[in-house]
Amino acid sequence: MAEQGIVHLFPKGAGEAPAVEPQLRALEAILFASSEPVSEAELQGRLPEGSNCSELLGALEQLYADRGVNLTKVAKGWAFRTSPDLAHLMAREVVEQRRLSRAAQEMLAIIAYHQPVTRTEIEEIRGVATSRGTLDLLIEIGWVRICGRRQAPGRPVTYGTNDAFLEHFSLDRVSDLPGIDELAASGLLEKTVAPVLQRDDDETPADDEGDDEKLDRIYLDTDIEAEAGG
């Protein structure tokens, strides 16, 4: 029953002493966590004094030869790489989580709190012209939908949030959105907000467009930049 952990589980060439074990473990961890290939010189420096680095690398390489992950030597040094025959599995990795740009966050907030709301009203509240792409993006994500039309000259389209929005934000209904006052009271937000954002506030100045837009651009996330530009 002298099953020496890795000696047993990870087969290797005959004649190797079990004393190599801790050094192999160390090597394994270092190579795994490093964000780029590690040179042999650096590995030697990080391993315990007296380790024979190239011998260890050879052993590790052999150990992982048939695995889903292989130890490979690349230009800059050594690195673990998934086995080439499994490359097809790598392509289907997780969807990337991306944050909304500030502009998109703001627009979503306005739509959520003021729905149904028209595009012109959104722009009035934001005080800047809205790039078409931002609204499109919110619709594409599936959080914003067209609600209907305002009974007003031009019968503009109104926007609101939908079920996917509620689900994403774990809300039962729109009225469950946290109130500004409440959040301000809990110290999460500054309390200088409320009055400007009432809908009857029709004369919100939409001038200074140019300047604010420029500011916006600075804060825009790159992805939205692309969206907005296109």
Partner 1 sequence: MMESRNNKQQPDLWEEDVRQSPEMLVVDVDGFEGPLDLLLDLARAQKVDLAKISVLALAEQYLLFIERHRTLKLELAGDYLVMAAWLAYLKSRLLLPEPTEDDDTIGEELAAALAVRLQRLEAMRKASSLLMNRDRLGRDIFARGEPEIRIERKSAYQATLYDLLSAYARLGRRSAQSVVHVTKRAVWSLGEAREALLRMMGDVAEWTPMTVFLSPYLVTAQIRRTVMASGFGASLELAREGKLELRQSWTFGPLMIRTPASGHDRGATNG
Return d(Cα 81, Cα 99) in angstroms, integer: 29
Q: Where are the alpha helices (DSSP H) in 115-201?
A: 119-126, 132-141, 163-168, 180-185
Task: Name the minimum Å distance from CB 176 to a copy of itself.
Answer: 6
> For partner 1, which residue of 23, 124, 158, 220 counts as binding (CB under 8 A)?
124
The answer to whether 229 contacts partner 1 (rule: CB under 8 A) is: no
In the window 172-211, what residues touch a copy of itself (CB under 8 A)? 176, 178, 182-183, 186-188
- Identify what 205 binds: a copy of itself, partner 1, none; CB under 5 to 8 Å per kind: partner 1
DSSP of 202-220, one letter per residue? TT-----HHHHHHHHHHHS
Task: Name the minimum Å distance from CB 202 to a copy of itself.
Answer: 31
- Identify what 192 binds: a copy of itself, partner 1, none; CB under 5 to 8 Å per kind: partner 1
The answer to whether 26 contacts partner 1 (rule: CB under 8 A) is: no
Backbone φ, ψ for residue 159 (5° rounding) = -120, 155
Task: Name the minimum Å distance from CB 196 to a copy of itself.
Answer: 22
Backbone φ, ψ for residue 224 (5° rounding) = -70, -35
In the window 32-91, what residues touch a copy of itself (CB under 8 A)? 32-36, 38, 42, 46, 62-63, 65-69, 80, 82-83, 86, 89-90
Asked if 101 and 221 touch (Cβ cutoff 8 Å), the reply is yes
DSSP bridge pairs for 216? none
